[in-house]
């Protein structure tokens, strides 16, 4: 009986530890899970172990303060962007189920209390892996949202929305809808996208998770720089 009680307590402890780890992930301990991600990252805990960044050839880490101004308005939004890149010998930094990313950006307010955005990137992705990733994101977020017909993106872009979270995936593959003239009023966008990236080489993927507030500023911004220009 004592053995049963001990096993139960041990199992409970492991479960609670797992829950705690998921709620407060730590950089360098395991990839940041972007599936079922709550946009509530505790950056003090996540980047807490500074020894991982000092004289470490596996990672390149930097932070930058930025301000976005809405086009035609005096309204601005300031934030801090943390950028972490892994070298070829470094570990993957984020994952969505079994899809792994080598670069990670975290955008926070100046007080590091509110997570505006998390973005993860990966190069040299095989089309088959993309097929699976799109299906798994859709399983969590629902159907892919249609793009604005009056503002067709230059590159293949998938968008989703679930509650107060927006997800967007951008490929470095020219959008066949914007680069060609189609007589159809409503072309089969999904088929055109799939056909296009299955013919492409060296596909790069950037996956964003953000909230409506930050999305509004990025879409209406007078200008952006770095990774945010891909959004």
Establish if 94 belongs to a structural domain: yes
2 has pLDDT over 50: no
Establish if 81 belongs to a structural domain: yes
Mean per-residue pLDDT of the chain:
83
> What is the pLDDT at residue 148?
78
Establish if 56 belongs to a structural domain: yes
Angle at 228 (CA atoms; ends 224, 231), nearest 5 degrees: 110
Structural domain tally of the chain? 1
CA distance 89 to 74: 45
Establish if 16 belongs to a structural domain: no
> What is the pLDDT at residue 177?
87
- Token pair for 95: 């994952």
CA distance 163 to 198: 31
CA distance 18 to 24: 10
pLDDT digit string, tens, across residues 46-88: 877 777 666 667 777 788 999 998 888 888 999 999 998 876 6
Lowest-pLDDT range of 42-56, 109-123, 206-220: 42-56
- The H-or-E segment that residue 136 falls in is helix 127-141
CA distance 100 to 205: 11
CA distance 168 to 147: 11
Establish if 22 belongs to a structural domain: no
- The 8-class DSSP code of residue 46 comes to H
- The H-or-E segment that residue 78 falls in is strand 76-86
CB atoms within 10 A of CB 3: 7
CA distance 21 to 31: 11
CA distance 154 to 230: 10
pLDDT digit string, tens, across residues 179-193: 665 555 666 888 999
Q: What is the extent of the structural domain holding 190?
A: 28-230
Judged by DSSP in three states, 14 sits in helix
Establish if 5 belongs to a structural domain: no
Establish if 138 belongs to a structural domain: yes
Establish if 13 belongs to a structural domain: no
20 has pLDDT over 60: no
* Strands, sheet with 165-174, edge to edge from the N-terminal-most edge strand: 59-69, 76-86, 103-108, 115-125, 203-210, 165-174, 155-162
């Amino acid at each position: 009986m004592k053995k049963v009680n001990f096993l139960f307590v041990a199992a409970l402890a492991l479960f609670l530890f797992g829950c705690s780890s998921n709620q407060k992930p730590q950089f360098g301990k395991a990839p940041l899970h972007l599936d079922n991600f709550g946009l509530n990252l505790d950056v003090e805990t996540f980047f807490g172990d500074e020894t991982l960044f000092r004289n470490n050839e596996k990672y390149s880490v930097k932070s930058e303060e930025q301000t976005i101004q809405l086009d035609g308005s005096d309204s601005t939004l300031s934030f801090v962007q943390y950028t972490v890149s892994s070298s070829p010998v470094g570990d993957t930094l984020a994952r969505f189920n079994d899809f792994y990313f080598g670069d990670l950006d975290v955008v926070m307010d100046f007080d590091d209390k509110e997570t505006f955005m998390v973005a993860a990137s990966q190069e040299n992705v095989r089309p088959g892996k993309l097929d699976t990733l799109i299906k798994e994101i859709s399983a969590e977020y629902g159907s892919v949202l249609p793009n604005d017909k009056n503002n067709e993106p230059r590159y293949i872009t998938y968008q989703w929305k679930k509650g107060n979270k927006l997800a967007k995936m951008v490929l470095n593959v020219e959008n066949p809808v914007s680069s060609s003239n189609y007589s159809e009023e409503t072309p089969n966008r999904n088929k055109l996208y799939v056909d296009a990236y299955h013919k492409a080489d060296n596909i790069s993927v950037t996956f964003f998770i953000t909230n409506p507030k930050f999305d509004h500023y990025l879409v209406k911004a007078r200008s952006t720089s770095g990774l945010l220009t891909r959004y």
